[in-house]
Amino acid sequence: MIEPGGAVRNERKPNKVREIRESKMMSKAELARKTGLSVQTVDRVEKGYYCRLDTKRKILIALGLDLDDRNGVFCED
């Protein structure tokens, strides 16, 4: 499925969410609670699957990062 802006939902793009989460000694469940997302969504994001901009924002905030850090976390931005 093609999203607005040409993103393909099934296409995987690497990111650093898992690496950063683990460096903060945070479980997927804890990140999910802090973001209000499901553990399954967090897992899919960590695997590099497509996610909405709002989901990225929630993850950045929950990890204690600034929105300006998005390019270092989500490499495709």
User: Above 80 in pLDDT, residue 6?
Assistant: no
3-state helix, strand, coil in the chain (%, to 5): 55, 5, 40
User: What is the pTM for the complete model shown?
Assistant: 0.84
Q: Are 70 and 77 in contact (CB under 8 A)?
A: yes
Q: Are 29 and 62 in contact (CB under 8 A)?
A: no
How many domains is the chain partitioned into structurally?
A: 1
User: Above 70 in pLDDT, residue 77?
Assistant: no
The CATH number that applies at residue 34 is 1.10.260.40
Task: State which residues form the domain around 8.
Answer: 4-73
For 19-76, write each residue's pLDDT tens digit: 999 999 999 999 999 999 999 999 999 999 999 999 999 999 999 999 999 999 998 6
Q: How far apart are CA 73 and CA 20, in angstroms?
A: 8
